């Protein structure tokens, strides 16, 4: 986990250094943007105690930092927090999940016209999750069996597509879809979100 966080920090630092090089070459100095995102996710978890149903949950806290990188690409860094409730059945493990993490993507723009200019991205995501109140219940909601709380770290590959529109000289709004594929069989995520970015 420490190696992964060091890798993400290195990539972000490289982007920041490259932004300073742009400034020295006469390009705009304030190309970096900060933002906030609100989304709805479908989550699927792999629980060692048994099968779990998918859960839909709001992702209320996601902060974004983005800047130009190289060759017309940009990097997109996200810091997020999320909670979700998975319902219990006789053959499905219910639980309450709290999750936080970071995502780093490299995005490339494909201009279709002046209105549709999607950014396609790929990257990695690292998160930590707490799984609490794990149990199975019968059809009437009575407890059949409970399981101890657990914690996991997760590494995933990310793919995204986003489109944004200017609303002023320094701010944009947009929408995005992100797909997370777990590399260590912990959590898969499909996320639709809207975001607001401001240049500073």
In the numeric block, the tokens 């920041």 are attached to 16
Write the pLDDT tens digit of every residue in 105-158.
999 998 888 788 999 999 999 999 999 999 999 988 899 999 999 999 999 999
How many whole angstroms separate alpha carbon 75 and alpha carbon 51? Answer: 36
How many whole angstroms separate alpha carbon 193 and alpha carbon 102? Answer: 16
CB 119 within 8 A of CB 109: yes
Domains identified in the chain, total number: 1
* Domain containing residue 139: CATH number: 2.40.160.20
Per the structure, the complete domain to which residue 120 belongs is given by 2-199
Write the pLDDT tens digit of every residue in 149-193.
999 999 999 999 999 999 998 999 999 999 999 999 889 999 999
Write the pLDDT tens digit of every residue in 57-91.
999 999 999 999 888 899 999 999 999 999 999 99
Longest dimension (CA), the chain: 68
pLDDT score for 145: 95
66 forms beta bridges with 33, 76
CA 14 to chain centre: 21
């Amino acid at each position: 986990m420490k190696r992964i966080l060091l890798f993400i920090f290195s990539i972000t630092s490289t982007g920041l250094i490259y932004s300073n090089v742009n400034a020295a070459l006469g390009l705009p100095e304030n190309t970096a943007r900060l933002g906030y995102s609100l989304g709805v996710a479908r989550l699927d978890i792999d629980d060692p105690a048994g099968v779990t149903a998918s859960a839909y949950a709001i992702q209320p806290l996601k902060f974004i930092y983005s800047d130009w990188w190289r060759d017309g690409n940009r990097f997109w860094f996200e810091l997020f927090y999320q909670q979700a409730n998975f319902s219990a059945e006789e053959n499905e493990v219910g639980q309450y999940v709290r999750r936080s993490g970071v995502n780093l993507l490299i995005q490339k723009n494909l201009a279709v016209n002046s209105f549709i200019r999607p950014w396609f991205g790929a990257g990695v995501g690292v998160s930590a999750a707490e799984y609490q109140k794990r149990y199975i219940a019968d059809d009437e909601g009575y407890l059949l069996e409970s399981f101890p709380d657990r914690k996991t770290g997760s590494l995933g590959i990310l793919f995204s597509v986003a489109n944004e529109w200017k609303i002023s000289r320094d701010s944009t709004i947009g929408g995005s879809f992100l797909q997370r594929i777990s590399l260590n069989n912990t959590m898969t995520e499909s996320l639709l979100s809207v975001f607001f970015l401001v240049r500073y």
